[in-house]
């Protein structure tokens, strides 16, 4: 169970990106976070693993207050929270296998990892994860030699290496064409349904929300304007979320 309580974030420049955000995510749920761009989706997801420091509020996970964790504890928490990014965020010049193994950095002994030594078990695990997402044959290529869809799979494999209990996916398919989008979403669905990993995924398209999400949280200018099942989003709710001028397509 992940609980977000009265979370607010004000950036240094004074932009209030989140205002009093409160919701819960039960274990194993596939939660979609929707909203216009600039509504605070990325900020919200990054507050959960504290890539961004929240200004106020609390994030409780398994009874532990993430917002109060010391740097040392934070590293331990982060290693169970995988993250997938809109722009994949791979290290371009590194090989695919290195990018995937980076997912183990929170577990391995830092001293050995600095000289690029990983335990044999981790190497095998990396092969298994790459096979799972279908990129095992690319292991030794440079990450930037891969297509967008393939890069996002590397991103997913990296997150899987963390043995995650939660995956935060920040618009994982926004940079991909629709066909690839479904294949990536299916991987996330598989991880959610078969491994029981809680998924928080911010999405742009409502059809993807309907197709994959168990529940939806909608943000508008940093506030939660809707929380419920995907099919509960009617035209009135839609206009709350996306603004008066928005037209519903499809």
Partner 1 sequence: MEKEKSSPWKSILRGLAFGLVVITFAYGFEVTNINLGELQSQRRRESLTRVLRTLARPDILEYEQVTVVVNAPVYMPCPADGSVPDILEPDRSQPYLIVTPACVESGGAVLVEGFGFTPFVSGPLRFVPGSDPTNVVTLGRENLETDASGHFSVEMTLPANRDSDDVQFIRATARENVGSPYFSRSAHETWDKIVETVFMALLATAGGTILAFPISFMAARNLMKPVKSPLASIALSAIGWPLGIWFGLQLVQWLAGVSAPYINNLPVLVASVVGVPLVMVVALRWALPQVELQPAAAGLRFARLLVVFAVVLLLIFGLFELAGLMSILGARIAAGLGSWGFLGTLLFQGGDILRLIIPLLGSLAAGGAVASFLGRIGQRMAENLSTAVARAINLLLAAMAGATLFVLGGALLEWFYQWGRPELTVYWPAAIGGGLGLLAATLASPKAVLPIGMVIYYVTRTILNALRSVEALVMAIVFVISVGIGPFAGVLALGLHTIVSLGKLYSEQVESIMAGPLEAVQATGANRLQTIVYAVIPQIIPPFISYTMYRWDINVRMSTIIGFVGGGGIGFLLLQNINLLNYRAAATQMFAIAVVVAMMDYVSSVLRERYV
User: Binding to Mg ion by residue 43, rule CB under 5 A?
Assistant: no
H-helix or E-strand spanning residue 58: strand 56-61
Structure tokens at 160: 């899987």
Q: Which stretch binds partner 1 (CB under 8 A): 33-41, 55-63, 108-116, 177-185?
A: 108-116
User: Binding to partner 1 by residue 194, rule CB under 8 A?
Assistant: no
Short-list 155, 249, 202, CA closest to 33: 202
User: Binding to partner 1 by residue 98, rule CB under 8 A?
Assistant: yes
∠ CA(213), CA(219), CA(222), 5° rounding?
A: 145
Task: With beta carbons less than 8 A apart as the criterion, state whether 167 and 108 touch.
Answer: no
Determine if residue 38 is left, alpha or beta; phi over 0 gives left, psi from -120 to 50 gives alpha, anything else beta. Answer: left
**Which of 107, 205, 226, 238 touches partner 1 by CB under 8 A?**
107
Short-list 90, 86, 66, CA closest to 77: 66
Q: Give residues with Cβ within 8 angstroms of 205, minimum separation 6.
A: none
Which of the choices partner 1, Mg ion, ligand ADP, none does residue 92 contact, using the CB cut-off of 5 to 8 A by kind?
A: partner 1
Which of the choices partner 1, ligand ADP, Mg ion, none does residue 35 contact, using the CB cut-off of 5 to 8 A by kind?
A: ligand ADP
Q: Shortest approach of Mg ion to residue 143 CB, angstroms?
A: 22
Q: Which stretch binds partner 1 (CB under 8 A): 67-75, 191-199, 206-214, 234-242?
A: 67-75
Structure tokens at 96: 């695919």
User: Binding to partner 1 by residue 242, rule CB under 8 A?
Assistant: no
**Which of 9, 41, 79, 125 touches partner 1 by CB under 8 A?**
79
Structure tokens at 176: 């991909």
Q: Which stretch binds partner 1 (CB under 8 A): 118-126, 145-153, 196-204, 233-241?
A: 118-126
Nearer to ligand ADP, 14 or 63 (CB): 14
Query: How many Cβ atoms are within 10 Å of 113's Cβ, its own excluded?
Result: 18
**Which of 4, 32, 39, 42 touches Mg ion by CB under 5 A?**
42
Task: With beta carbons less than 8 A apart as the criterion, state whether 226 and 237 touch.
Answer: yes
Which residues in this chain contact partner 1 in the complex, by CB under 8 A?
46, 49, 51, 70-72, 75-79, 81-83, 85, 87-94, 98, 102-114, 117-119, 121-122, 155, 158, 161-162
């Amino acid at each position: 169970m992940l609980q977000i309580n009265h979370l607010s974030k004000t950036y240094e420049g004074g932009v209030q990106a989140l205002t009093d955000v409160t919701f819960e995510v039960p274990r194993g749920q596939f939660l979609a976070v929707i909203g216009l761009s600039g509504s605070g989706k990325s900020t919200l997801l990054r507050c959960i693993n504290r890539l961004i420091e929240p200004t106020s509020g609390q994030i409780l996970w398994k009874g532990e207050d993430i917002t109060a964790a010391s740097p040392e504890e934070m590293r331990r928490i982060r290693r169970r929270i995988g993250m997938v990014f809109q722009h994949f965020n791979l290290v371009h010049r590194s090989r695919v296998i290195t990018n995937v193994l980076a997912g183990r950095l929170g577990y391995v002994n830092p001293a050995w990892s600095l000289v690029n030594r990983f335990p044999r078990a981790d190497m095998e695990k990396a092969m298994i994860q790459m096979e799972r997402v279908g990129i095992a044959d690319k292991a030794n290529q440079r990450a930037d030699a891969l297509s967008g869809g393939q890069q996002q799979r590397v991103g997913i494999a990296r997150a899987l290496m963390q043995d995650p209990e939660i995956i935060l996916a920040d618009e994982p398919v926004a940079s991909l064409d629709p066909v690839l989008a479904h294949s990536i979403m299916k991987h996330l669905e598989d991880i959610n349904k078969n491994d029981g990993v809680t998924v928080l995924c911010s999405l742009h398209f409502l059809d993807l929300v309907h197709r994959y999400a168990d529940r939806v949280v909608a943000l508008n200018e940093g506030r939660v304007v809707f929380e419920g099942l995907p099919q509960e989003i009617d035209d009135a709710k839609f206009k709350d979320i996306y603004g008066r001028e928005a037209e519903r397509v499809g």
